[in-house]
Structure 1
Amino acid sequence: MNVMRELRRTVALRRIFGWRSERAVLWFLALGIGVLSVAPLTRLIWAAIAPDGSPDLAHVLQLIGTQKVWQATLNTLEIAVAATLLAMLAGTLAALLVGLSDMRGKQLWVFTFILPLMIPPQVIALAWVQALSPSSPLLTGVEAVCRSLGWRLTLGNGQPLYSLTGIIMLLGLHNAPLVFLTVRAGLRRLPADLVEAARITGASPLRVLFTVILPLARPAIFAGAALSFVAAAGNFGIQAMLGIPARVPTLITLVYQRLNGYGPSALPDMAVLSLLIALITFGGLALSRYLGGRRDVRVSGSLRQLKQPLGAWRLPAEWLAWLWIGMTLLLPLSALVGTSLTNGFGQTLNRQTLTFDNYTNALWQYPAIHQAFFTSLGLTLMAVVLLTLASLFLAYFLSWQRSRLVSLLQMSTELAYALPGIVTGIAAILFFLKPLPLINVSIYGTVWIILAAYLSNFLALVLRPTLAGFAQIDRSLDEAAQISGAGFMRRMWDILMPLAAPSAMAGAILVFLTALNEIQVSILLVTSSSQTLGPMVIFLDEGGSSTLAAAVGCLMILVVLLFMLIATLFARRLPEGVLPWRA
């Protein structure tokens, strides 16, 4: 009897301490998300509506009503909408070709189609600018061909991408893979029975496409459009590289230029513009959700993989698909590589001009580039470790211990991820500008404010695949361990973490690839002593070192390719669908 009583007492004590440790971890997560996400956003809103400590809506309306802000707002809306339409068209066509046809070489084609999305946008913009510069071999060759045919073609000395149309084109091409990924996932859930029934009745492939497939895929199409809209409105790299030289103001470049010109004194005005950017992105999300969900398209049926043989059209379709890759990926990247191998921008690459000096300087001669690389690598690794641990614990509570507090934490992480990175940067500056209470230390101007912004912005990116991993775990394993007296931390370490680790690692890979070369979040937070790799390309190009910037951009692409290939080698150990570039 004494033994049984002692055993029950031990089990009861373990349950009490286990419950207490669960609550302690939950409140620690709440404190971290509150400090990194909720508090900075609250500070941003208060700074916008109360710059002097008391609400002043007249100041907000006066700033928004100025000609420059009004023009920047219209440009932002026009760019985001037009680029989204272009991305919807290209991404949907690509998804239909890959998801429904018998096209050959899909795996490699999907990898190359997704690759521009993984390359930093500032590098993509630099590559396109160099590919379409007046002195580029491409335009020079086009002009020579036209002259040989007797056509008069004068391309002029201007850069065609330095325009509103150029920004729209590049953003549309850059965001097309976002639409492709969502539409491809939607096509996999289409019931084959309905399509087969339509074919049996004699409907042509085009009629089946427009009357059955596209209506059923509409929610996925508009979900991809929402992602594209948010990405286009908040893409700093392309808007800055093309819009600033073209004098096409957008809200995101206006924030960057004013903050650089006026410093912290401009923060209240920048808070208003940041909120305006956030409202535009959330408005686009709401409209896309409304358009995608106006009608119920849920159906039942077989989820077998749909295949539409292309027949005689297969070879032309494959040629067009690879021509797209050549024009949108190989052309700009070849121009970037060519520029990086010469001493001067616009030089023709030949035996006399070929040089590796730019790579030598980038790798060994410029301490600023080394510092930026190692700073980015260190921040990225710290962010990956901390976010992976946080996502494992948060996924546990979201899966099996959901409460109002837990739901609020999830909503906060999703909100921080949906906000454009530059909004997160402004919020971090406002919140961390003053010294932290108790320790009286300011992290403004240090690498720690960049890390704080990374933790806020990328938590949702790790959390989503981790939640998918927890959904595949049988809860009875945790309950059995709990009944046997195992504490919360013991259950997490011995049972749940090993089972959910592959999904969490998939999210960690995505964060690593995103954060290592990112520019959206850190562009306003970097200083001379806390430089990161992403903004380095813009700073070098603005300083007149275009060939060195091209070399750094090529090295960044090589790093992205290396880690994509490493992740592909371990793809079999990762949950299906977590690597977006795998067909």
Structure 2
Amino acid sequence: MSVIGEMTRAGAFRKLSAWRSERAALWFLALMIGTLSVAPLTRLVWAAIAPEGVPDVARLLHLIGTQKVLQATFNTVGIALSATLLAMLTGTLAALLVALTNLRGKQLWVFTFILPLMIPPQVIALAWIQALSPSSPLLTGIAGMFNGLGLTLHLGNQQPLYSATGIIILLGLHNAPLVFLTVRAGLRRLPADLVEAARITGASPLRVLFTVILPLARPAIFAGAALSFVAAAGNFGIQAMLGIPGRVPTLITLVYQRLNSYGPSALPDMAVLSLLIALITFAGLALSRYLGGRRDVRVSGAARNIRQSLGGWRLPVEGMAWLWILITLLLPLSALVTTSLTRGFGQALNWQTLTFENYLNALWQYPAIHQAFFTSLGLTLLAVIILTVASLFLAYFLSWQRNRLVSVLQMSTELAYALPGIVTGIAAILFFLKPLPLINVSIYGTVWIILAAYLSNFLALVLRPTLAGFAQIERSLDEAAQISGASFMRRMRDILMPLAAPSAMAGAILVFLTALNEIQVSILLVTSSTQTLGPMVIFLDEGGSSTLAAAVGCLMILIILLFMLLASLFAKRLPEGVLPWRA
């Protein structure tokens, strides 16, 4: 009996120890997410409502009612809605073309169509500005070609992109891949039986498209529209590069300009504007969810690939598809490369003007660029490591130990990811401006505040694929290890982490590609001694170094391409669908 008693007590002790280690891990995650996401956002709301410690609704309404804020709000909503409509149209057409037709070369076409989404928006804006500038080498060469043919091509003296229309077009093109990805995923889940039944009854392909396919794909279309709206409203790179010189104020550029002009004293007002941006974002999400869910379109049936032959239209359609890539991707990037290879912006590229000096300066001669690159690389790698480990533990609790606290943690991570990056930046400044309690150290103005904002903003990006990985793991494996006496940490280390690692690695790749060149979060947090790579393009262009900015932008694109190709090499080891550029 004593032996049995000892075994019982030992088993009870192991269970208690495992329970304590699980609770410790959960509360550590709660402390991390609470400090990095919940507390800063709470501080942001309180600073907007009660900057002096007492709610002041009159001040809040007065600030929102000023002419500048009203104009910026109107521009933000109008631009975001218009850009979303453009993204919906182009992204849906691209998804229909890829998912439902026998288009040749899909893998390469999808890669090139997705690529603008991977390129930082400030680099995309710079490329288009240089492509359509009246003094650009590209347009100068086109004008010379027209003149040689006896035609006259008049180039205006004004940059056409410095306008609300220019911002809408670039945002729409930049966000179209977001709609494409969600609609393509929705089309893959369509039951082929309904489409085949409609074809058997004699319905034409267009009628099948408008009466069967598009109604069933409506939730996916509006889900993509929601992502596009959020991205458009919070896109700092394109709005700043085009809106500031074009005198088209938006809320996000107004926050940037006022904070640069007045410093931390403007934080209470910037908190109000940040809260307004957040409300616009959530209103767009709510509207999209309402429009996408007004009718129940769930149907039963096997999901199979639906293919419609293009027949005699195949060659013209393929020509139009590749012409789209030529205009929207190769045209601006070729202008960026051309500018980076000349000594001065506006020079025609020939053997006399060709130079690699800009690349040599970017790589070796400018310490600020080196520092920005290594700061971004270090912060990105550190964020990837921390977020990957945190997502593995959080996914365990969300999958098998869900309770109210775990649900709140998930909601907090999703909220932090849904908010525009500049809102996260303002919240981080407000929360970390004063010295931290207990240790009495302020991280404001250091790289650590940028890391804190990265951890807050990108956790959900790693968590989503990690959750998908845990959904494919048999829980009986963990239960068997638990019965055999394995501790929580040992089960995580030896069983669960290796099985979920491919999914977590896919999320880590997305975070790396996003954070290395990002600008939305760090633009308000960088200082002269803590530069990151993303804002460097804007700073160089504003300083008049257009050719050097073009060279830095080309190097950023090259880094992105290399990592995308490297990730593609390991695509077979990753869960299907986690690399968005894979067809």
Gaps of 5+ in 2: none
Distance in 1, Cα, partners of 2:145 & 2:384: 51
Equivalences for 1:42-57 in 2 at 5 Å?
Answer: 42-57=42-57
Distance in 2, Cα, partners of 1:509 & 1:385: 11
SS in 1 for 2:411: helix
2:286 maps to what in 1? 286
1:194 maps to what in 2? 194
Deviation of 1:438 (Å): 1.0
Distance in 2, Cα, partners of 1:144 & 1:365: 35
SS in 1 for 2:183: helix
1:170 equivalent to 2:184? Answer: no
Question: What are the Cα deviations for residues 489-510 of structure 1, in whole angstroms up to 9, with x where unaligned?
Answer: 1111111000000000000000
SS in 1 for 2:523: helix
Q: State how many pairs are aligned.
A: 583
Is this contact kept in 1: 2:136–2:345, CA < 8 A? Answer: no
1:381 maps to what in 2? 381
Deviation of 1:156 (Å): 1.6
Equivalences for 1:213-232 in 2 at 5 Å?
Answer: 213-232=213-232
SS in 2 for 1:245: coil
2:73 maps to what in 1? 73
1:556 equivalent to 2:517? Answer: no
Distance in 1, Cα, partners of 2:343 & 2:138: 19
SS in 1 for 2:165: helix
Deviation of 1:304 (Å): 1.1
Deviation of 1:138 (Å): 3.8
Distance in 2, Cα, partners of 1:493 & 1:400: 17
1:473 equivalent to 2:460? Answer: no
1:513 equivalent to 2:494? Answer: no
SS in 1 for 2:298: coil
Equivalences for 1:228-247 in 2 at 5 Å?
Answer: 228-247=228-247
2:328 maps to what in 1? 328
Distance in 2, Cα, partners of 1:95 & 1:109: 11
Is this contact kept in 1: 2:137–2:347, CA < 8 A? Answer: no
Distance in 1, Cα, partners of 2:72 & 2:141: 36
Question: What are the Cα deviations for residues 45-68 of structure 1, in whole angstroms up to 9, with x where unaligned?
Answer: 000011111100111110111101
Question: What are the Cα deviations for residues 282-338 of structure 1, in whole angstroms up to 9, with x where unaligned?
Answer: 000000000000000000112111000101111111111111111000110010000
Question: What are the Cα deviations for residues 73-121 of structure 1, in whole angstroms up to 9, with x where unaligned?
Answer: 0000111000000000000000000000000100011000000000000
Distance in 2, Cα, partners of 1:163 & 1:141: 25
Is this contact kept in 1: 2:137–2:349, CA < 8 A? Answer: no
Distance in 2, Cα, partners of 1:142 & 1:553: 23
The amino acid that maps onto 1:305 is: N
SS in 2 for 1:246: coil
Distance in 2, Cα, partners of 1:348 & 1:305: 49
Distance in 2, Cα, partners of 1:536 & 1:137: 23
1:317 equivalent to 2:317? Answer: yes
Flag the 1:341–1:137 CA change in 2: closer, same or farther, 3 A. Answer: closer
Equivalences for 1:294-443 in 2 at 5 Å?
Answer: 294-443=294-443
1:492 equivalent to 2:526? Answer: no
1:154 maps to what in 2? 154
Distance in 2, Cα, partners of 1:183 & 1:406: 30
Flag the 1:254–1:267 CA change in 2: closer, same or farther, 3 A. Answer: same
SS in 2 for 1:210: helix
Distance in 1, Cα, partners of 2:471 & 2:331: 43
1:568 maps to what in 2? 568
1:32 maps to what in 2? 32
Deviation of 1:144 (Å): 4.7
Could you say what the CA RMSD is over the residues aligned between the two structures, in angstroms?
A: 1.0
SS in 2 for 1:430: helix
Distance in 1, Cα, partners of 2:226 & 2:286: 8
Distance in 2, Cα, partners of 1:48 & 1:502: 42
Deviation of 1:6 (Å): 2.4
1:140 equivalent to 2:179? Answer: no
Aligned sequence identity (%)? 86
Question: What are the Cα deviations for residues 369-414 of structure 1, in whole angstroms up to 9, with x where unaligned?
Answer: 0000000000000000000000000000000000000000000000
1:17 equivalent to 2:13? Answer: no
Equivalences for 1:244-259 in 2 at 5 Å?
Answer: 244-259=244-259
Distance in 1, Cα, partners of 2:5 & 2:582: 57
The alignment's TM-score, normalised by the length of structure 2, stands at 0.99
Distance in 2, Cα, partners of 1:438 & 1:408: 26
Is this contact kept in 1: 2:137–2:338, CA < 8 A? Answer: no
Distance in 2, Cα, partners of 1:270 & 1:477: 50
2:210 maps to what in 1? 210
The amino acid that maps onto 2:432 is: F
Deviation of 1:4 (Å): 3.3
1:98 equivalent to 2:98? Answer: yes
The amino acid that maps onto 1:315 is: L
SS in 2 for 1:55: coil
The alignment's TM-score, normalised by the length of structure 1, stands at 0.99
2:547 maps to what in 1? 547
Deviation of 1:136 (Å): 2.1
Is this contact kept in 1: 2:140–2:348, CA < 8 A? Answer: no
